[in-house]
Structure 1
Amino acid sequence: MNPRRPMQPSPGGRRRGAGPSPRRRMLLVVGVLSLASLGLVARAFDLQVMQKQFYQDQGDARFLREVKIPVSRGTIFDRNGEPLAVSTPVMSIWANPPQVLENADRIPDLAAALGVDAGELKEHLAQRADREFVYLRRQMPPEAAQAVLDLDIPGINAQREFRRYYPSGEVTAHVLGFTNIDDHGQEGLELAFDDWLSGKPGAKRVIRDRMGHVVEDVEQVREPKPGKNLTLSIDRRIQFLAYNELKNALTEFDAASGSMVILDVPTGEVLAMVNLPTYNPNALAGSKFSDRRNRAVTDLIEPGSTIKPVLMAAALSSGKYTPTSPLIDTTGGHWYFQGHDIHDTHNYGLLTPTGVITKSSNVGAARIAMTLDTALMYNTYRAFGFGNSTNSGFPGESSGLLRIGRDWRPLEQAIMGYGYGLNVTPLQLANAYATLGDHGVMHTPSFIKGADNDPRAIVSPQVADEIVQMMETVTAPGGTATTARIANYIVAGKTGTAHKAAAGGYSRTNYTAAFAGLVPASHPRLVGVVIIDDPQKRSYYGGMVSAPVFARVMEGALRLLDVPPDNIGRWYAGGPLMSPNGLAGSKPPTDTPIDDAPVEDEP
C-alpha cells in the first residue's frame, strides 16, 4: 500500500480549502470596530456639539418650566382706611391630561374631590389629551385644594392665585365694580384703575419630575411687583346710610329704582354713591346685567324743577333779575304759550324770582326763560356741566343731552326753564349744585381722596350765594320740601317731579321724583341728590318721596363728619333778601308742604 502523497501548498502559501488567515480576520474586526467607534464619536459630536442646544431645550421642555409668580391685587380703601376690596389667596387645580388618563381608575376619586361628574371629567380630559395643562377648577379655598392634592393622583397639580373679596358687598358694588376670574377689573373703579391695582406677576424657572411636581427652584426670571393700593374719597359710613335709606324709600313707595349721590362741596370728592337695584360682587352668578349698572353716572333723567336754580343763575347773571325783582305774573296758574298749556298746581299770582323757586312755579320759570337771551341760557346750562361729561373718570359715564342753543325753538326754551327737553345724570346734577354751594366754583368730581384738580369759576360768587339763599326758602314753611329739614341746620335745596318719557310723548302715570340740596346752607359742606324712579304708592312728588331720604342721610352724615350746626333753634333763615314764602305782598302761609306738581300736558 502506497503511502499518500503529502498535500502540496498552494501558490500563495495557503493550503487548498483553508479559511482566511487569523491576521486577516483580526484586521477585519479591527476595521469594523474602528468604523463603529468613529460613527459613535461622530454621532456623539453631533449630539453634544452640533445639536446640543436642541436636545437641551427638549430636555428642559420636559423637566424645566417657567412658572408665573402670582401677585396680590392692590387693596381699595375708603377715605378713613377701611378696606372695601381685598385679595385673598386661593388655589386652582390643573391637570396634565395624558398622565391623568394613564391612571383612569383614579378619575372617580378626583371627580368626587372636585364635586363634578366622573364621566364628564373623563370626557373633558380625553378631549384635551394633546395638551399638558388644563384647568379643572379655579379659585378653590386652600383647604379644599389641598384635599385634592392629598389624593396624590399623577398629573394633578395646584397653582396659587388670588381672588377679590368685597367686605361691603352690594352696598359699594356699583362704585367698585368687580374683577374676572383672572383678577382683572371688569367694571367700576376696578376697571378704571386696573393697571394701578393689578401689579406685574413675576416668573421663575423650576424643575418638575415626571409627575409634574416641582422638585427644585432654578432661578427667578422676573421679580413680582404687587399691585398698588388705592384710597377712595368714599366714606363707607355715609355709603351705608345712603344705601339703607334709599332701600327703605323704594320699599315704602314701591319704586322701580333709585340713586343717591353725595359730594364734598369744597373739593368735589364723591363721599357716597348708591344705586338700587344692586348686586353682590362676591356672588355674581344669577345677577342681572341691569342690576350692575351704575345709574348715577350712566342713566339719564329729565331733571324737572331741579333745573330752576341753574335757570336763575342765567337770570341773575343777565342783570335783568335780582332775588326780589321784578315780579313775575303767574296769575291763574296757567300760561298758554304757542298752543301749549304751561301750568302750576296753584294760582300764585305775582311772584318774586325767589318765589318762583319757593313755589316751584313752572309758569314763572317759563316766563323768565323767555326773557333771556338764548345763547346766555344755553351757555349757562353748558357751563354747569349739562351736555358734558363730568370727567370723573368712571367707566361708561354719560355726557347727558343738551341741544345746541341756536337750534332751540321758543317753546323748547320755555319748557327747558322747568327741566324738560334736556337729559342729565344724577352726578351731573349734584356737581351743578356743588358749584352753587362753593360760591360759583366748579370742581371735577373725583372718586380718589385728595384728587381735587382744575377748579374753575362758573358764575360770580354773588350770584351763586344769592341762589343758595333763594333755595333756603324751599325747605322753609310754605316751600315744596319742608320734609328736607334737618334740626339745627339750614337746608337749601330744590324739588323736582317730572313725567317720564314714553312712546309718543310723556307718561301720565310714571314719574321721576327728585330732590337736590346743600347743607349747611350758610357754609355748604355737603351736596346730595336723590332720584327715585317711578314711585307707585302714597306719593310721587319729589318733596314727599325724595326729600325725606335726603334729610335722614344728611343728618347722619353731618354728625359723622362733625359739621357744626348753623341754625340752632330755628328752622329756616328767612334772610333780608326775601320773605320766607317768596310771595309778593302776602303773609307767610301755614307750614304745609306743597310740591311742584308735574305738568300734565306733554312738554
Structure 2
Amino acid sequence: MSDNTEAAVGRGWRLWLVLVLLLLVAGGITARMLSLYVEEQSFLQTQGDARSLRTVQVPAHRGIITDRHGEPLAVSAPVATIWADPKMTDMQHDGLSKLAVLLKTNKKKLLAKLSENRSRRFLYLQRQVTPELAEKIRALRIPGVHVDREYKRYYPAAEVTTHLVGFTNLDGKGQEGLELAYEDWLKADAGKQLVMKDRLGRTIKHIREVKPALHGNDIQLSIDLRLQYLAYRELKASVEAHKADGGSIVMLDASTGEVLAMVNQPSYNPNDPKQRISTALRNRALTDTFEPGSTVKPMTVAAALMSGEYEPETIVNTAPGYMRVKGKTIRDHRNYGEIDISTIITKSSNVGVTKLSLSLPEGSVRNLYHNLGLGQATGIGFPGESTGYLPYLNSRQQVERATLSYGYGLSVTPLQLAQSYLALANDGVVSPVSLIRQSEAGKPVRVMPADVAVDVREMMETVISVKGTGRRAAVQGYRVAGKTGTVHKVGRGGYIDDQYISTFAGLAPVSDPRLVTVVMIDNPKGQEYYGGEVAAPVFSRAVGGALRLMNIPPDNWPEVNKQVAQR
C-alpha cells in the first residue's frame, strides 16, 4: 500500500471519529435538555422564581365621599388579601396549622381546599383581612402563600347615610346609591411596578414604575351630617312608635335647592353585607311614589290666585259639607259653610279646593303642578329615581279634575313634593335640587308671582295654629307654615280601607324661609294615622333641631314680634 493510500485511510478514520464524538455530544445535550424539561422542571421553576422579575399591581384607593362640611361618609381603608399558589404551596409546612387558625378554619379543610386546586396557580384564601392579621400570616413564611395589599370601603355613618351613599362590592365597584351613580368619577386605577422577588414571593428590590396608580376623585355632598343624624333619629323613633312599614324625610335648603338631609326607614348597615336585604336597599325618598293628598292643596289655591279671579279674602260656600261631581260625592270632615280661601287651607276643605279647581280653565291646576316638578324626574342623577305620575285631563273629566285638586289621581316622591314647596318658600322661584354641594345656586325658574307665593305661605301658617290640622308641627320660637296630608294606600284592587300614608310638608321660618321639609310615614298602625297626628310631630322635632343647629335666629319670640311691630 502506497503512502498516499495510508494517509487517506488515516484521515477517513479520524473524520468518522470526530463525527461520532459530535453525535455523542449532541445526544448528551439533548438528553440533558429532556431531563431538565421533564424531570427537573419543578426544581428549575423554583430556582427561577428565586431570582425572578415580576410586574406587581400597586393598589389605588377609591375617591372619598364627604358631607358639606368635609365629614367622611365613605372612605377606603387599607386591608389585605391572602392568596395561594396551590401548585407551589408546601403542604408539609409547619405554618399551615397556624394559618388555618388565623383564617378561622381548620387545617383539614385548608389542605383539602389546596389539594382540590393543586393544578391552579391562584386561589383566594381570604379577602379584606386586617393589616394586623396579614402581618401575622406573612410572618409564617409559607412557600406558595402570599399577602397582597388592597382597600376596603368603609362607611363611618353606617345606616344613617346608606340610602344616599350606597355601597360597593368586594372588588370595589359601586352597587347602589351615589357609589353607583358616580362610579366613573370615584373609581381608582391600580398602577404597576417592576420588582424582583425571592422564592417566597417577598419583594427584595423595586426596579421601576411601569404605570402610576391613579386614585379616585373625591365628592362633597350637599348633606349636613348633623341634620342627617337628627332626621334619622326622629324618623326611626316615629316608625317604631307607630309600627309603620317605613318612612322618609327630605330636608332642602330653601334658597339653593340643596338636599341637607334625606333619610329612610327601614335601613341597614352597609358595613355588614348580611344586612343588605332587598326590602331595605332602596332610597324610598326617591324611588317610592304615593298620592300626596292634601299637601298639594296650597298649589291648587295658588293656581286660583294666579287666575286673577280670586283673592285671599274671597268667600267660597262649602255648605252643606259635601258636593256631587258626576255621581261622585266629595266630602269635608264637617260643614264649614261660607269660608274664605285662607280657611280652605286651614281646614283642609276638599269641597273648597274642588270648587276652585272646577271654576278654572281645565289645565290650570295640572300645569302648575307640572311647573312645580310633580310627576317628573328631578334630574338629581340618582339611580332608580321614579318620575311619578301626573295625568293630562280634559274638560269632560270633571271627577278626575276634582280629585287632582286635593291630591288624588297623581303620584309623587317625597323629593318631588319637597321640590314643589321650594316655590312657596322662595317667593315663587324654584332652584334645581342637588345632592352635590353647589358653589352657587343653579339657575332658578319662576313658576308663580312672588305675591301669590307670599299669600299662600301666610295661609299655610294658619294650618299650624290651634284652628288648623297641623298644630303639632309647631316649633317653639319659630313661625312655621305647612300642610298635612292623609291618603289611603293603593293596593291591587284599589284603595285599602285600613292602610294610610301620613304626610306633612312645610317650611320655616316663615319670615325668611331657610328649610323645606317633607315627612312621609308609610302605613302607621294604631289609632293615630292622620298626617297631623303622625307626621307633623316628626316635622316639629326634626326642623326645630335643625334650625337650632344652623343657628337660625328665632322669629316668633315675643320680643322679636315687638321689635317687628315697632319698625
Tell me the matched-pair count. Answer: 547
Match of 2:363 in 1: 375
Judge which range, 169-178 or 407-416, deviates more. Answer: 407-416
Matched position secondary structure for 1:91:
strand
Matched position secondary structure for 1:332:
coil
List per-residue Cα deviations over 1:175-196 (Å, max 9, x = no partner).
1111111122211111122222
Structure 1, unaligned runs of 5 or more: 1-10, 42-58, 576-603
Matches within 5 A, 1:123-272: 123-272=112-261
Taking structure 2 as the reference length, the TM-score comes to: 0.90
List per-residue Cα deviations over 1:303-327 (Å, max 9, x = no partner).
01001111122211222222221x2
In 2, Cα distance between the equivalents of 1:133 and 1:324? 80
In 2, Cα distance between the equivalents of 1:102 and 1:12? 75
Match of 1:296 in 2: 285
8 A contact 2:91–2:111 mirrored in 1: no
Whichever of the two has the greater Rg, that structure is 1
8 A contact 1:100–1:107 mirrored in 2: no
Match of 2:57 in 1: 68
List per-residue Cα deviations over 1:34-78 (Å, max 9, x = no partner).
78899999xxxxxxxxxxxxxxxxx89993332221112222221
Select 1:528's aligned residue among 517, 535, 545: 517
In 2, Cα distance between the equivalents of 1:64 and 1:514? 66
In 1, Cα distance between the equivalents of 2:527 and 2:558? 31
The sequence identity of aligned pairs, in percent, is: 45
Match of 1:333 in 2: 321
Matched position secondary structure for 1:546:
helix
Task: State the Cα distance separating 1:106 from its structure 2 match.
Answer: 5.9
Select 1:480's aligned residue among 437, 460, 469: 469
Q: 1:358 to 1:159 in 2, by over 3 A?
A: same
Judge which range, 212-221 or 435-444, deviates more. Answer: 212-221
In 1, Cα distance between the equivalents of 2:50 and 2:358? 79
8 A contact 1:191–1:395 mirrored in 2: yes
Match of 1:347 in 2: 335
Structure 2, unaligned runs of 5 or more: 30-47
Select 2:268's aligned residue among 279, 282, 291: 279
Q: 1:126 to 1:454 in 2, by over 3 A?
A: farther
In 2, Cα distance between the equivalents of 1:552 and 1:570? 23
Judge which range, 562-571 or 196-205, deviates more. Answer: 562-571
Task: State the Cα distance separating 1:459 from its structure 2 match.
Answer: 1.4
Q: 1:373 to 1:384 in 2, by over 3 A?
A: same
Matching of residue 393 in structure 1 with residue 400 in structure 2: no
In 2, Cα distance between the equivalents of 1:181 and 1:86? 14
Judge which range, 344-353 or 26-35, deviates more. Answer: 26-35
Select 1:424's aligned residue among 409, 412, 417: 412
8 A contact 1:487–1:571 mirrored in 2: no
Select 1:95's aligned residue among 84, 102, 118: 84
Match of 2:36 in 1: none
In 1, Cα distance between the equivalents of 2:164 and 2:376? 21
Q: 1:571 to 1:421 in 2, by over 3 A?
A: farther
List per-residue Cα deviations over 1:409-442 (Å, max 9, x = no partner).
2111111111111110000000100122111111
Q: 1:62 to 1:419 in 2, by over 3 A?
A: farther
Letter in 2 for 1:75: I
Task: State the Cα distance separating 1:257 from its structure 2 match.
Answer: 0.7
Match of 2:508 in 1: 519
List per-residue Cα deviations over 1:315-358 (Å, max 9, x = no partner).
11222222221x22211221122221211111111121111111
8 A contact 2:362–2:395 mirrored in 1: no
In 2, Cα distance between the equivalents of 1:264 and 1:531? 18
Letter in 2 for 1:446: S
Judge which range, 118-127 or 82-91, deviates more. Answer: 118-127
Q: 1:26 to 1:307 in 2, by over 3 A?
A: same
In 1, Cα distance between the equivalents of 2:320 and 2:498? 25
Match of 1:508 in 2: 497
Select 1:116's aligned residue among 83, 105, 108: 105
Match of 1:492 in 2: 481
Task: State the Cα distance separating 1:149 from its structure 2 match.
Answer: 2.0
Q: 1:127 to 1:22 in 2, by over 3 A?
A: same
Letter in 2 for 1:321: Y
Q: 1:569 to 1:113 in 2, by over 3 A?
A: same
In 2, Cα distance between the equivalents of 1:280 and 1:214? 38
Match of 2:556 in 1: 567
In 2, Cα distance between the equivalents of 1:336 and 1:526? 39
List per-residue Cα deviations over 1:447-474 (Å, max 9, x = no partner).
1112532321111212211111111111
Match of 2:546 in 1: 557
Task: State the Cα distance separating 1:569 from its structure 2 match.
Answer: 2.1
List per-residue Cα deviations over 1:485-530 (Å, max 9, x = no partner).
1122110100001111123221111111100001011211101100
Matched position secondary structure for 2:137:
helix
Q: 1:188 to 1:62 in 2, by over 3 A?
A: farther
In 2, Cα distance between the equivalents of 1:439 and 1:121? 69
In 1, Cα distance between the equivalents of 2:194 and 2:251? 51
Matched position secondary structure for 1:549:
helix
8 A contact 2:245–2:524 mirrored in 1: yes
List per-residue Cα deviations over 1:234-288 (Å, max 9, x = no partner).
1111111111111111122221111100000100000001101100011121432
Matching of residue 415 in structure 1 with residue 403 in structure 2: yes
Matched position secondary structure for 1:473:
helix
